[in-house]
Structure formats: C-alpha cells, structure tokens
Amino acid sequence: MSITDPIADLLTRIRNANRMRFSSVDVMMSRLNTDIARVLEKHGYIKGFEEKSDPETHHPRLRIYLRYLDAKKGVVTDLQRVSRPSRRVYVKSTQIPRVFNGYGIAIISTSKGVMTDSEAREMNVGGEVLCKVW
C-alpha cells in the first residue's frame, strides 16, 4: 500500500493517537518525517522519537513518544497540514505566517533545512509551509 501524502499521514497518526491518549505511535520512516519529529521534540510537543524495525515487513518505522500535561490534556491541541501535494504553499521570509500570535509553530521546509517559522524569520529564508502545530 502506498501513501500519497506521508506528511499528512504523520500528522493524522499523531492527532489520532493524541486523542486516544496513546503513549507512542509508529509512522513511516523518511528523512522529512524525522526532521518534523526533531522540530516537534525541540519545541516540547513530543517526548522523543526513535527508529524501529517492523518485525513483519522489515521496513524501518519511526516511533514517536507523545507528551501529555496531565491525564486529560495533551500538549498538542491540533495539527494542520498547510501545503499539500495538490496545492503547494510557498512563502517569502517576510510572509511567513504566525500561528496563534506566536503560541503555536509553523514548520517550514527551507533551503537550510526543516525549521520553525521563528527560526526562518531569524535566518531570513522562505520556503514551503508544511504544517501548523498548536
């Protein structure tokens, strides 16, 4: 089974696991998914992540450990995919969106790597807006 949009699959799996209060979730392994998980971990939205090998298919998987404030409230309120395969969204460094006036982050793929909106503004680079997290 092939996945058309692996980033949307990553975000949907995290969103669903967060709503069901799972401690971890497995997603497809890719460099972009690893970079997104690295940004989420750096900003405290997840506990961490690691590479795992699926024993049935022997494909590498990325296990993401979710973080919760207490038993009722997760750290991630919502994740929203911005740029899709059918409609790419590119922005200049001066047009980078702010998520909830700075309370959330926008993850952007730039020529200098995957980073948040504030880091891209500091480095004065634009790129493709992958998703918003708050």
- pLDDT, averaged in runs of 10, over the chain (134 residues): 88 96 95 98 97 86 95 90 97 96 96 98 98 98
pLDDT of res. 1: 55
Q: In sequence order, what are the residues at sequence separation of 6 or more whose Cβ sits closer than 8 angstroms to the Cβ of residue 39?
A: 105, 107, 114, 115, 116
| 128 in any annotated domain | yes
For residue 23, what are the domain limits? 6-66
The CATH number that applies at residue 58 is 3.30.1370.30
Give the predicted TM-score (pTM) of the model.
0.94
Say if strands 24-28 and 105-110 run parallel, antiparallel, or are unpaired.
unpaired
pLDDT of res. 67: 96
The CATH number that applies at residue 105 is 3.30.1490.10
Q: Could you give the number of structural domains in the chain?
A: 2
pLDDT of res. 55: 80
- The verdict on 119 and 96 lying in the same domain is yes
Say if strands 46-53 and 24-28 run parallel, antiparallel, or are unpaired.
unpaired
| 45 in any annotated domain | yes
